[in-house]
């Protein structure tokens, strides 16, 4: 996992995600999830390229309270949270070009190839 990605938990979610100054992209994942593992290099690359957004990961097995709060029923699920509010939900693995396009409003409007 990239050093630019912060692992969050039920205990740190409020502080690290909901109270963040900048938009936060949170990846709800689990180690046993194949599509989650497939998305990891894509998520890492975006985190390295876009420092104006906070990239975080939350293990759904270890943090069921937050997963239930946001009704995460399928993984990977990515949420964009800005000023404490969910502004975008993405479900399922996707290639980097599509993920960049989906996140472009928060990444600075430049979709990476």
- Catalytic positions are 33, 36
Whether 53 contacts 25, CB under 8 Å: yes
Total residues found in the chain within this entry: 113
Q: Tokens 């502004």 sit at which residue? A: 87
Distance in angstroms (rounded) separating the CA atoms of residues 39 and 44: 9
Q: Nearest-CA neighbor of 46 among 20, 74, 78?
A: 78
First to last CA, the chain: 21
């Amino acid at each position: 996992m990239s050093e630019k990605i912060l692992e969050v938990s039920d205990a740190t979610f409020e502080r690290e995600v909901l109270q963040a100054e900048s938009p936060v992209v949170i990846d709800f994942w689990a180690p046993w999830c194949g599509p989650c593992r497939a998305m990891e290099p894509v998520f890492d690359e975006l985190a390295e390229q876009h420092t104006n957004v906070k990239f975080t990961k939350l293990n759904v097995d270890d943090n069921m309270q937050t997963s239930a709060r946001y009704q995460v029923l399928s993984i990977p699920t990515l949420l964009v949270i800005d000023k404490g509010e969910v502004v975008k939900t993405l479900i399922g693995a996707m290639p980097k070009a599509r993920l960049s396009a989906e996140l472009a409003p928060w990444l600075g409007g430049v979709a990476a190839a």
